[in-house]
Structures are given as C-alpha cells and as structure tokens.
Amino acid sequence: MLIQPIRLIATLIAMTMLSGAASAETRTAHDFAFTAIEGGVLPLSTYAGQPVLVVNTASRCGFTYQYDGLQALYDRYRGEGLVVLGVPSQDFRQELATSEDVKKFCEVNFDLDFPMTEIEKVKGRDAHPLFRWLAEQGATPDWNFNKFLIAPDGSFVAKFGSSVKPDSPKIEDQVEALF
C-alpha cells in the first residue's frame, strides 16, 4: 500500500526535474537582467527584437581604446536596433574599484552613451547568470573586451575575442545579418 504513494512522489520528482532541464535548454538572453551602472534594473527582455552585443569591459586594459569603436558601432547601427551593452568586470584585475568610478571614467574619457551595467563577475561559478548561460553555449570570456552577439530572439550568435575590433567586418557582417 505504501509503495504506490512512493512511486507517485518519485514520478512527480522526476517530472519536475525534467521540466527544469527543458526550461534550462530553452532559456535565452532575454531571461536575464543586470543592474544598470546608474542604478535600477536592466532586463535584457527590454531588447527583445533587437540584436545585442554584450562586451565585458575593463578601464585599465590595453583594449580599453575599443570603447571608441564600440560607441561608433552603436552610433552606426542603433537606428536599426543594435544595442551595445558594456559589462565592466574585475575578473582580469584591470577594472576600477567601483561602478561609480567606471561610470565617471567612461563619461570623461569616451563620452559613452550605450548602456552599461554595474561591475560584474563574468567567469567561473560566481559569474553573472548571463555569463554562466553564455558558458553553457560554449562562449566564456578569456580576457577583457570579449564580445558576445545575441540575436533579436535572445539566442547566442557568436563570440569575438579581444583582438577583434568593433569595426571589424567579422562583427559588422554578423550584426547586419540580424536586421
């Protein structure tokens, strides 16, 4: 008599685990949110229907000059819907101490107006959930200024390394294919 309830409970647990696995497989970038560098929630679902280039940034990196190229890319394609999202990170030990310091640095030195997040972890088990999801897609940042292109439907498209400049045909061709 006790076996039937145990089987029922085991079946329910198995179904719950399977449905959780299925939902993990169907997740998209739109399922994640950041805290904006100026405060407030920045849900990626806000950008549904638009391509998003997520870039892990650092203010003291040899690639920091790419902020100019990222702003130019944003300026060139924002009218068509492209969003460039800067995600400052201290994971490679080249970021300023606080998000406020990063915000001031970017305003003063680069006059950026694309969205940026607070300082986040981008690698390892403590990484921001978006970067853990990207890792599941086979795309983990291996240095600052890695670029991750997200399709308008929230799926992962491509990773571009630090040495690929924002105005590279590799990036622009992929972005243009999403419009």
Q: How far apart are CA 112 and CA 166, in angstroms?
A: 14
SS3 of 52-115: the string is EEEEEECCCCCCCCHHHHHHHHHHHHHHHCCEEEEEECCCCCCCCCCHHHHHHHHHHHHCCCCC
Tokens at residue 94, please?
Answer: 């080249």
Cβ atoms of 45 and 30 closer than 8 Å: yes
Q: How many helices (H) and strands (E) does the chain have?
A: 5, 6
CA atoms within 13 A on the CB side of 81: 15
Catalytic residue among 53, 61, 73, 130: 61
Total residues found in the chain within this entry: 179
Give catalytic status of residue 61 as yes or no: yes
Q: Which residues are catalytic?
A: 61
